[in-house]
Amino acid sequence: MSRRLNRASARTRRLAGLAAAWPAGMMLAACGAGVQLREPTLVTQQAARLVEIRIGETTRTDARLALGEPWLQSEFWRVDVFRAEDEERELTFIIPPVPMGVFHWTVGGYGLITYDGAGRITAVASGQAFKGFNKQGAMMLRADELNLSVEPIDNRGPQLTADASRLPEYLERSRESPMCTVILACERPAAREKWPDEGCPDRVVIDEGEALDLQPLLATCEAGSRCPPNAVRWVEGVHVRVPLLVPVRLAPGRHRLVMASSVFKGRSEATFECSAGEVQYGFVRGQVSWHWWGPRTSTLVADVIMSATPPANWETYSVLLFRGDHWVVEPDPSSSPRTPPDRD
């Protein structure tokens, strides 16, 4: 077995899963017709109300009266995200009237709304993501400088990101805090590399905290307004990679950073110190030493370069704000000092 066949990182496995799902759906469609048994009415109703929003006229209050309380909200980032989830069912036939079975999938409807300082809506984007046996659908929405994505064949959940131009304001508030802030990211690989993300660890832990996945998000978006300006085309079609900056708040002092992978062997460690109000940038560089048996017997070796100044290309990244079911950053950071947590 060649080395090329063994090169299957976590990211490429997600894409392989997506590619495998498409033929199944296409085969079912080719076999016969389908009859919809259950419509996603909640998603349809939300989409209809989002269409009625008028840019520059509708206020944030008006939108909430029509759509209810948002799923995500932040006054600092000036964003509301609305979400409706429902189930769609379809009776599929091999050759009508011979039934093949009833298939069902989850339909997630999303509305991304941004507004100005006066509370008037400045941009609206809406879309749907699907997940089921014979139907997989990713989504990328963009409103002003914010993006909401659901990756194909991925368990990371919805991800809200902001263009790097929104980061300085957040960091200004960070400098007034008794906490320190570390911005972590993987070094952006050259676009020509065959496997650009394999050296980026997806399990980065600071002081026994929650594991952070620094790998770029794999987005599916059309060229133009729906696609972040820093997205890099990965394969033919609509798939892109969006490199991420991941902010982490820490108590002042000395910290231990452990870098590992869910696919490869290996564990790399580094230590660093930070002080109250300080902002540091940590860029991770990783390399895989391949073994002919495959990924599980190959080793990832990584190191991190800490700097007090942002790297030259940091503006080509997106800031991760929310992932899955929790905020990565504070949705509404306070400029007033906060008491740092006690450390053991």
Q: What is the pLDDT of residues 191-203, one digit of tens each?
A: 545 566 788 999 9
282 shares a domain with 197:
yes
**Model confidence pTM above 0.85:** no
Q: Is residue 227 part of a domain?
A: no
Domains identified in the chain, total number: 2
| SS3 assignment, position 141 | strand
176 shares a domain with 48:
no
173 pLDDT tier (thresholds 50, 70, 90): confident
91 shares a domain with 51:
yes
**Residue finishing a domain among 163, 178, 198:** 163
User: Do residues 330 and 324 make contact, with C-beta atoms less than 8 angstroms apart?
Assistant: no
Q: What is the pLDDT of residues 226-278, one digit of tens each?
A: 788 888 776 666 678 889 999 999 999 999 999 999 999 999 999 999 999 99
14 shares a domain with 155:
yes
Q: Is residue 224 part of a domain?
A: no
* Mean pLDDT, the chain, integer: 81
Angle at 281 between CA 342 and CA 328, to 5 degrees: 60
Q: Counting beta carbons within 10 angstroms of the beta carbon of residue 246, is it exposed (0 to 12), middle (13 to 18) or buried (19 or more)?
A: buried
223 vs 163, more confident: 163
152 shares a domain with 168:
no
281 shares a domain with 270:
yes
Length in residues, the chain: 344
291 shares a domain with 252:
yes
Section 9-14 average pLDDT: 44
Q: Is residue 241 part of a domain?
A: no
Q: Is residue 334 part of a domain?
A: no
Q: What is the pLDDT of residues 15-24, one digit of tens each?
A: 444 444 434 4
Section 31-55 average pLDDT: 78
Q: Is residue 157 part of a domain?
A: yes
Domain span at residue 288 reads 164-214+246-327
